[in-house]
Amino acid sequence: MIRGVRGAITIEHDDAELVLQDTTKLMQSIIAANQINPEDVASVVISTTPDIVSAFPAKAVRTLPNWNYVPVMCMHEMNVPGALPLCIRALVHVNTEVTQKDIQHIYLNDAVKLRPDLTK
């Protein structure tokens, strides 16, 4: 069975080092909370708000140990007025027997505002 594991993090400003560092932090948190093995991952979709242009967050995912063969794609979110700025979102498609309600979605920094119902 395949499940989607969501996560998001905000960065202080658009900077390549911050994009890579905070994407790594987000992914490590998603991986740890859900005990994800890269061999069980079908793909990862990473999006950024349009105000992030300094680096590809997918680069951070591909540098995680044993994640170099996992398909990862980046894209921009819709530019909706009033949307949370400087936000990186992840959607990990993982093969797992964990039920939907038991998936641990991760929201860090100001991204907790996106889904307070899922933030612990």
Residue from 6, 12, 39, 69 carrying the catalytic annotation = 6
Q: How many CA atoms within 13 Å lie on the side-chain side of 114?
A: 20
pLDDT of the chain, 120 residues: tens digit per residue: 999 999 999 999 999 999 999 999 999 999 999 999 999 999 999 999 999 999 999 999 999 999 999 999 999 999 999 999 999 999 999 999 999 999 999 999 999 999 888 776
* Known active-site residue 107: yes
Is there a contact between 92 and 4 (Cβ–Cβ < 8 Å)?
Answer: yes
What per-residue confidence (pLDDT) applies to 120? 63
Of the residues 3, 17, 74, 87, only one is catalytic, namely 74
39 is catalytic: no
Active site residue 62: yes
Query: Does residue 3 carry a catalytic annotation?
Result: no
Q: Verify whether residue 69 is a known catalytic residue.
A: no
φ/ψ bin of 83: left (φ > 0), alpha (ψ from -120 to 50), beta (otherwise): beta
Nearest to 93 by CA among 10, 8, 3, 23: 3
**What's the pLDDT score for residue 44?**
98
Confirm whether 87 is a catalytic residue: no
Q: Model pTM greater than 0.85?
A: yes
The pLDDT score that the predictor gives to residue 109 is: 96
| pLDDT at 66 (0 to 100) | 96
